[in-house]
């Protein structure tokens, strides 16, 4: 990327933001965790009343609120009383498009890995065992409230893309469509709604697939969709189209080929494997992709990959990359056929 500025003041201000960014993340996290915005939803409150409601030290909470006021989340309509700004409203649990869960998720699930960045950069190994004493997904299974945060976050992300992904690909030739690591079923729901001929299978870890089951019942799709718990490193259910959306990017090459090889055994001879992933284009650096690439490495040894890298993994697992289809979202569809 080219130099963007040579103004020393701008440079130092940007560097200072980087050096102190954790303070803002921690303050936002704590406000989210304590539910401060929910307590202020009915109107302004004194910091003492808030401290009592959330079980905090009044003086210390006041100082946190002043910092968050400076960050733009609250204002003081009168001294010592705090109210939500338009920005602060997004920290309410019931705010449409709100980020309360995100603020908690980032600190409780993502920060521990970033705290081990030096270990990962020194060794090239993922940080999850050091950060959690378990792999990232084992850790989620052991802590259902974290699994709920993670799955909510995944659902929000895929919800913004699912209709476009479902519309970008012709699923009409397929009777059974299997979404491996399908989370709470948002993508599968969009595909089934657009393709009345199809039946679906959502396959994910047992704790996650419970959420998918509930969601299918809510949408009236449970008759057309089975929700199966299991481990994609052991085996995956058979299907005419097998989808892996944001799954392979979680894993290193060896584990990715292992999952893909299990899909190879499960896909129908004339069927298709659809990888739904961001496509890394080295000559078009995207800040979000660079950051996610590092995050994938930290949390499980995964990676953002180029088309060539996906092609190589697919070939090793017995597939041929047939097409890459743009969806108009951050993710593309890598269509592969068994060979």
Confirm if 237 and 228 have CB atoms less than 8 A apart. Answer: yes
Task: Specify the residue, 64 or 154, whose C-beta has the smaller distance to ligand SAM.
Answer: 154
Task: Specify the residue, 94 or 231, whose C-beta has the smaller distance to ligand SAM.
Answer: 231
Eight-class DSSP state of 73: S
CB of 80 to ligand SAM, least distance (A): 44
Task: Specify the residue, 28 or 154, whose C-beta has the smaller distance to ligand SAM.
Answer: 154
CB of 108 to ligand SAM, least distance (A): 17
Task: Specify the residue, 195 or 208, whose C-beta has the smaller distance to ligand SAM.
Answer: 208
Give the interface with ligand SAM as residue ranges (CB under 6 A). Answer: 137, 154, 157-158, 181-183, 187, 204-205, 208, 231-233, 245-247, 250
CB of 137 to ligand SAM, least distance (A): 4
Distance CA 337, CA 201 (A): 19
Look up tokens 């940007």; give the residue.
Answer: 14
CB of 97 to ligand SAM, least distance (A): 17
Task: Specify the residue, 31 or 140, whose C-beta has the smaller distance to ligand SAM.
Answer: 140
Confirm if 143 and 132 have CB atoms less than 8 A apart. Answer: no
Confirm if 235 and 201 have CB atoms less than 8 A apart. Answer: no
Distance CA 166, CA 71 (A): 39
CB of 307 to ligand SAM, least distance (A): 19
User: Which string of DSSP letters, residue by residue, matches 85-138?
Assistant: -HHHHTTSTT-TT--HHHHHHIIIIIHHHHTTHHHHHHH---SHHHHHSS-HHH
Q: Which residue is nearest to ligand SAM (CB)?
A: 181
């Amino acid at each position: 990327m080219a130099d963007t500025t040579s103004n020393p003041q701008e440079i130092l201000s940007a560097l200072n933001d980087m050096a102190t960014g954790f303070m803002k993340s921690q303050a936002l996290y704590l406000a989210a965790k304590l539910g401060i915005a929910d307590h202020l939803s009915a109107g302004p409150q004194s910091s003492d009343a808030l401290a009592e409601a959330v079980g905090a030290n009044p003086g210390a909470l006041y100082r946190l609120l002043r910092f968050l006021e400076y960050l733009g989340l609250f204002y003081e309509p009168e001294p010592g009383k705090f109210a939500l700004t338009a920005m602060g409203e997004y920290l309410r649990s019931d705010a449409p498009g709100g980020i309360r869960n995100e603020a908690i998720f980032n600190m409780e699930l993502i920060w521990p890995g970033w705290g081990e960045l030096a270990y990962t950069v020194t060794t090239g190994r993922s940080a999850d065992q050091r950060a959690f004493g378990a792999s990232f997904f084992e850790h989620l299974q052991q802590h259902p409230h974290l699994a709920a945060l993670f799955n909510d976050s995944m659902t929000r992300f895929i919800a913004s893309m699912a209709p476009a992904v479902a519309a970008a690909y012709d699923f009409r030739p397929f009777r059974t469509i299997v979404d491996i690591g399908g989370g709470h079923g948002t993508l599968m729901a969009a595909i089934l709604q657009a393709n009345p001929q199809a039946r679906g299978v959502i396959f994910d870890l047992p704790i996650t697939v419970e959420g998918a089951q509930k969601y299918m019942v809510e949408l009236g799709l449970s008759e057309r969709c089975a929700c199966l718990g299991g481990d994609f490193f052991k085996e995956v259910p058979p299907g005419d189209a097998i989808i892996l959306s944001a799954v392979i990017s979680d894993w290193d090459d060896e584990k990715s080929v292992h999952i893909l090889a299990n899909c190879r055994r499960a896909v129908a001879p004339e069927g298709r494997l659809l990888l739904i992933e961001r496509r890394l284009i080295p000559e078009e650096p995207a800040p979000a992709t660079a950051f996610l690439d590092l995050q994938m490495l930290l949390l499980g040894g995964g990676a953002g990959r180029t088309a060539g890298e996906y092609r190589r993994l697919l070939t090793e697992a017995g597939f041929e990359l047939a097409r890459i289809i743009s969806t108009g979202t951050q993710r593309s569809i890598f269509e592969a056929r068994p060979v």
